[in-house]
Chain A
Amino acid sequence: MKKAHPRKKVNIRKSPFTLLEVLIAFFLISIAILPLVYTQTFTYQQHKRFIREIDLDRIANLIFVDILERLHKKENISWQDLQSGRVIPIEQEFPHVSGNYYFLTHHAKANEDQTYVVVDYTLKINLQIPDSEKIYSFDFDLLATWNATEVQPPSQDER
């Protein structure tokens, strides 16, 4: 008679997770969440930057009005600055905004008896916000007359 094989005792050892393994898994999950948080923060930063960008229009108007006043009062801006197109830094302090401005000469015309010259200028205001290399340029037209008896009028080709 064939002897039956004795049934082998199968020892299934269920391997439990150790605390260290669980902590590692938890740490990995936490790292995976970080990019999600970063995306939201980045979106918020982008929005703030966009708001600063569109506020530049208001700031450019404030600077233009200030320059207009100083031109009339002859404060810190001379006719040489207009003629030479020298780049002048903006003195007014605005949070998160820096920049400069200069004048472009477009057209000059003397009156009949050559006593004064009317010059058409474009005032270019360049503004910049932090963390951005982009320069935002705003143009304003203005007319100036100056006494031509002592000063040579600019040529029409002068730009």
Chain B
Amino acid sequence: MIHKRYTTLLEMLIALGLTTILLTSLLFYYNYVAQLNNKISNLEHATFQQRYLQHRLSDLFTHALPVKDSKHRFFYSTNDPDNIFLNNTQNLVFSYDNGIVLNPPLANEVLGRLYIDRDNNLTLMTWPARDQWEPNGPATAGHKEVLLPQVDSLTFEFLILPKKQKDPPKENEPTNPFPELPTLGWHQDLWKKEYDQIPSAVKIIIRTKPKDELITYAFPIPKSKDIVHFER
């Protein structure tokens, strides 16, 4: 005779308890993996956006054009006098060489403005060079390019270095090419049109929105042609 032994309530409860623990740990693991994947995905997204920004800005400032004695080229920053950008943030207007593009008016020398639009996008607006404008403005619509979304603030710093000298400086010759500026070094105020020069380097400081993270980029401007001069 086979005696069938039934499961007791205690055994059942223990089995249920163990199953609960097992399922909890499995769900915890699943949740952990999902969170990690989400984090990785966000990190990748943010990194590639910032990487793109670094690459794009580096390309732009490498091709920034000198403005000296030119009526059609510009390099200056403003504080949004017309209140058309985000929270009265700074913006930078500069001429640069856009190279070969499909739209002929936006090829080669163009005029760019770097600013934060009202949707918190760090944006580059590109128009044809100033000498191609008609009396009422540019004949061709500008090209808007979002470089980085979710940006809260944008500030610029400009490096002022002594001008290029073919010969060692003569006596009483000023080494500061910008007599309006107090000292050589990093200039944290606006870069005025009247300076009629491009700086040796630009620092772009942005604050990103979700993490409230401050990111600083620095770009030397090769066209400024600064040479280090040493004198013993």
Contact = CB atoms under 8 A, between A and B. Distances in A.
Interface stretch (B32-40, B67-75, B97-105, B120-128): B32-40
B216 A73 contact: no
B11 to A, nearest CB: 8
Nearest to A58: B54
Contact of B228 (A37, A54, A140, A143): A143
Contacts, number: 117
A156 to B, nearest CB: 19
Interface of B: 1-2, 5, 11, 14, 18, 21-22, 25-26, 29, 32-33, 36-37, 39-40, 43-44, 47, 50-51, 54, 58, 159, 161-162, 165, 167-168, 184-186, 200-201, 203, 215-220, 226-232
Interface string A130-143: 00000000001011
A71 B159 CA distance: 13
A26 B47 CA distance: 41
B230 A62 contact: no
Interface centre among B14, B33, B37, B215 (most CB of A within 10 A): B33
Contact of A72 (B1, B44, B217, B226): B226
Nearest to A82: B230
A147 B218 CA distance: 30
Report, nearest first, the 6 A-B pairs whose CB atoms are least far apart: A146-B230, A65-B218, A144-B228, A79-B230, A62-B218, A72-B161
21 contacts: A12-B2, A19-B14, A33-B29, A40-B36, A51-B43, A55-B50, A61-B58, A61-B219, A61-B220, A64-B218, A64-B220, A65-B201, A65-B203, A65-B220, A68-B226, A69-B161, A73-B184, A116-B168, A143-B228, A145-B228, A151-B232
A159 interface: no
Contacts of A140: 220
Contacts of A158: none
Nearest to A46: B40
A48 interface: yes
B218 A61 contact: yes
Classify chain A's interface size.
Answer: 35 or more
Contacts of A30: 25
Given A68-B220, A73-B184, A144 B32 contact: no
Contacts of A115: 167-168
B186 to A, nearest CB: 7
A16 B8 CA distance: 12
B115 to A, nearest CB: 21
Nearest to A50: B47
A76 interface: no
Contact of A9 (B1, B229, B231, B232): B1
Contacts of B216: 62
A57 B218 contact: no
